[in-house]
């Protein structure tokens, strides 16, 4: 294939990526958009396979077969509630691939006795560094989300100093690698090893509920790593596609941070959350009012407008279908049901939307915070399912609270509030929630899915 044709076909692939992302702008065209982007990827792969420089078709066939089979199996078998973990893993694979391509390219040049130009040298080191950090950081994010390891921030003295030192060491070694003679490979391996350690250390001090920001950021890193690899192998489609993904992740992390009224630096280095009870107003002397399923059923059964506030607890209990069933029932009885989605509800951007879409809730009923906050005052019931910090009025009033200034859903403006919760534990931020002690609030303790199912049974009996 002539080089010019090859380059033009790569351009077509890049255009398909752009158009695909554009079509993700509406739920109606999104699926088509994703497929366009997939066609672009297929085109890029086919064009590359015709490349006369391919070294080993056997390796490629085996590698592609294994990778496709594992990827397909994972994608088909993952539960919607586990989507954050899946995306974390995919980020890790992307970072790992960039690391491996950069590494293989470096080793090839070394063994062939070619001295890379300075720009190739630098971008190779960058793809090793960013790729490694993305790989190990994503695996830690996965472990936190999967609850294989604690979701609480892990901190130790001098953490930032150690991380800074590690980063300086990596930069120093990478620079050294650029000037040492051929065949000296220990700085190369050390850079990879240290960067993998750095990825772990950067993510362990970040708490479980801050994972939306971390995943978005790692998503961005995986894109930037791909871009750097593009510089290394002189391939523009890698540079363009990587940059698109890089900017996407950055924007999503910004949106998340804004929704929590915290800076990116605070999320990454603040070791936020986890110290239950240590901060915020004390709840001593206050009591909560519990409600029975029967009473809650009466409230919901005769409500004109119910606003559901879903949180991470909904995902944990896998209660999305049960919610839909309850909503259908209320609607059949003449009430209206809407869903108020806080931008940071769940463990990744848009997590709640995907769960509710799985349960066939029409996306028109899913309202963003600004859209729905004024509706709460006419709602008969605000049904809070496994959400906590995003409805805590302390964010509005208590200047001493760690979440002060965070935009919240006005669940407390509703005529009555039913909170479904497993127990009285504090939310992720480790602070008491005044909403639970509000005289209008009734607590319905227990597993969300079971409670919802019994509510459905009770309402049917009304």
Known catalytic residues?
Answer: 389
**Binding residue for another protein, selected from 231, 272, 376, 436, defined by CB under 8 A:** 231
Q: How far is the CB of 450 from another protein (least distance, A)?
A: 24
Of 202 and 361, the one with the shorter C-beta distance to another protein is: 361
- Looking at 161-169, 200-208, 219-227, 450-458, which segment touches another protein (CB under 8 A)? 219-227
Q: How far is the CB of 442 from another protein (least distance, A)?
A: 30
Q: Is 255 in the site for another protein (CB under 8 A)?
A: yes
Q: Is 49 in the site for another protein (CB under 8 A)?
A: yes
Place of tokens 């208590």: 398
Cα(444)–Cα(409) distance, rounded to whole angstroms?
Answer: 20
Query: Hey, which residues between 167 and 186 contact another protein (CB under 8 A)?
Result: none
Query: Hey, which residues between 85 and 104 contact another protein (CB under 8 A)?
Result: 86-87, 89-91, 93-94, 96-98, 100-101, 103-104
Lookup: tokens for 142: 């996965």
Q: How far is the CB of 111 from another protein (least distance, A)?
A: 5
- Looking at 147-155, 165-173, 245-253, 381-389, which segment touches another protein (CB under 8 A)? 245-253
Of 54 and 462, the one with the shorter C-beta distance to another protein is: 54
Of 360 and 425, the one with the shorter C-beta distance to another protein is: 360
Query: Hey, which residues between 14 and 43 contact another protein (CB under 8 A)?
Result: 17-18, 20-22, 24-28, 30-31, 33-35, 37-38, 41
Q: What are phi and psi of 289, to 5 degrees?
A: -105, 125
As to burial, measured by CB atoms within 10 angstroms (0-12 exposed, 13-18 middle, 19+ buried), residue 160 is exposed
**Binding residue for another protein, selected from 2, 3, 4, 56, defined by CB under 8 A:** 56
Q: Is 316 in the site for another protein (CB under 8 A)?
A: no
Cα(133)–Cα(130) distance, rounded to whole angstroms?
Answer: 5
As to burial, measured by CB atoms within 10 angstroms (0-12 exposed, 13-18 middle, 19+ buried), residue 445 is middle
Q: Is 225 in the site for another protein (CB under 8 A)?
A: yes
Q: Are the CB atoms for 61 and 50 separated by under 8 Å?
A: no
Of 143 and 154, the one with the shorter C-beta distance to another protein is: 143
Closest by Cα among 121, 287, 111, 96 to 184: 111
SS3 309: strand
The DSSP secondary structure of 305-344, one letter per residue, reads EEEEEE-HHHHHTT-HHHHHHHHHHHHHTT-EEEEEE-TT
Q: Is 193 in the site for another protein (CB under 8 A)?
A: no
Of 294 and 368, the one with the shorter C-beta distance to another protein is: 368
Residues 101-140: x where in contact with another protein by CB under 8 A, - otherwise, as a string: x-xxx-xx--xx------x---------------------
Of 227 and 438, the one with the shorter C-beta distance to another protein is: 227
The set of residues, in sequence order, having a beta carbon less than 8 Å from that of 350 and lying 6+ positions away, is none
Query: Hey, which residues between 323 and 362 contact another protein (CB under 8 A)?
Result: 328, 341, 343, 348-351, 353-354, 357-358, 360, 362
Q: Are the CB atoms for 230 and 166 separated by under 8 Å?
A: no
In Å, what is the CA distance from 94 to each residue of 75, 97, 98, 113, 242?
15, 5, 6, 29, 10
Question: From start to end of 316-454, where are the E strands?
Answer: 336-341, 366-368, 381-385, 416-421, 441-445
Q: Is 149 in the site for another protein (CB under 8 A)?
A: no
Lookup: tokens for 298: 């009466």
Q: How many residues sit close enough to another protein to count as binding (CB under 8 A)? A: 113
Contacts 24+ apart (CB under 8 A), 53-56: none
Q: Is 236 in the site for another protein (CB under 8 A)?
A: yes
Angle at 273 between CA 89 and CA 351, to 5 degrees: 40
**Binding residue for another protein, selected from 235, 261, 283, 453, defined by CB under 8 A:** 235
Cα(235)–Cα(173) distance, rounded to whole angstroms?
Answer: 26
């Amino acid at each position: 294939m002539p080089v010019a044709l090859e380059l033009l076909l790569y351009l077509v692939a890049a255009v398909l990526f752009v158009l695909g992302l554009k079509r993700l702008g509406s739920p109606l065209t999104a699926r088509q958009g994703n497929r366009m982007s997939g066609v672009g990827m297929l085109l890029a792969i086919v064009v590359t396979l015709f490349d006369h420089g391919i070294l080993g078709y056997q390796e490629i066939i085996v590698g592609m077969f294994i990778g496709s089979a594992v990827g397909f199996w994972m994608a088909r078998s993952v539960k919607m509630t586990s989507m954050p973990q899946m995306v974390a893993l995919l980020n890790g694979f992307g970072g790992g691939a960039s690391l491996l391509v950069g590494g293989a390219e470096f080793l090839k040049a070394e063994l062939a006795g070619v001295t890379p130009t300075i720009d190739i040298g630098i971008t190779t080191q960058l793809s090793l560094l960013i790729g490694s950090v993305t790989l190990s950081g994503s695996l830690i994010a996965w472990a936190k989300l999967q609850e294989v390891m604690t979701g609480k921030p892990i901190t130790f003295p001098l953490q930032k100093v150690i991380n800074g030192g590690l980063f300086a060491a990596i930069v120093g070694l990478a620079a050294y690698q650029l000037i040492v003679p051929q065949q000296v490979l220990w700085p190369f391996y050390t850079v990879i090893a240290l960067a993998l350690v750095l990825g772990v250390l950067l993510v362990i001090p970040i708490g479980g509920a801050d994972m939306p920001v971390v995943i978005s950021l790692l998503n961005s890193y995986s894109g930037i790593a791909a871009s750097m690899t593009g510089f290394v192998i002189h391939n523009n489609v890698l540079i363009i596609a990587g940059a698109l993904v890089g900017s996407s992740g950055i924007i999503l992390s910004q949106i998340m941070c804004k929704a929590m009224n915290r800076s990116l630096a605070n999320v990454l280095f603040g070791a936020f959350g986890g110290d239950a009870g240590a901060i915020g107003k004390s709840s001593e002397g206050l009591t909560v009012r519990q409600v029975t399923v029967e009473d809650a059923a009466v409230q919901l059964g005769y409500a004109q407008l119910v606003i559901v506030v879903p949180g991470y607890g909904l995902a944990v209990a896998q209660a999305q279908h049960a919610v839909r069933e309850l909503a259908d029932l209320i609607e059949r009885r003449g009430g209206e049901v809407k869903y108020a989605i806080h931008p940071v509800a769940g463990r990744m951007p848009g997590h709640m939307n995907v769960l509710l879409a799985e349960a066939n809730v029409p996306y028109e009923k899913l309202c963003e915070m600004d859209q729905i906050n004024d509706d709460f005052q006419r709602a008969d019931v605000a049904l809070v399912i496994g959400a906590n910090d995003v409805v805590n009025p302390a964010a509005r009033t208590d200047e001493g609270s760690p979440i002060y200034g965070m935009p919240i859903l006005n669940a407390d403006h509703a005529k009555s509030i039913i909170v479904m919760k497993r127990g009285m534990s504090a939310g992720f931020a480790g602070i008491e929630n005044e909403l639970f002690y509000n005289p209008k609030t009734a607590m319905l303790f227990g597993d969300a899915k079971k409670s919802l199912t019994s509510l459905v049974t009770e309402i049917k009996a009304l």
